[in-house]
Amino acid sequence: MKLQVLGCSGGIGAGNRTTSLLLNDNLLIDAGTGVGDLGFDALVKIDHVFLTHAHLDHIACLPLLLDTVAGSRNRPVTVHATQATIEVLQRHIFNWQIWPDFSTIPDSANALLRYQVLETGDEVILPGVTIRALPALHTVPAVAYQLDSGTASVVFSGDTDDCTPFWESVNAIANLQTLIIETAFADHEETLARASRHFTPRRLLAALGQLRHQVDIRITHLKPADHEQIMLELLRDNGTSFAISRLHAGQIITF
CATH (domain of 25): 3.60.15.10
Q: How confident is the model at residue 207 (pLDDT cuts 50, 70, 90)?
A: very high
Query: Looking at residue 87, what is its pLDDT?
Result: 98
User: Domain tally for the chain?
Assistant: 1
Backbone phi and psi for residue 75, each to the nearest 5 degrees, phi listed first: -145, 155
- The domain in which residue 95 lies consists of 2-254
* Statement: the pTM of the whole predicted model exceeds 0.85: yes
Spatial distance between the Cα atoms of 44 and 26, rounded to a whole number of angstroms = 9
Residues 42-81, buried b or exposed e (16+ Cβ, 10 A)?
A: ebbebebbbbbbbbebbbbbbbebbebbeeeeeebbbbbb
As a whole number, mean pLDDT of residues 73-82 equals 97
What is the overall mean pLDDT for the chain? Answer: 98
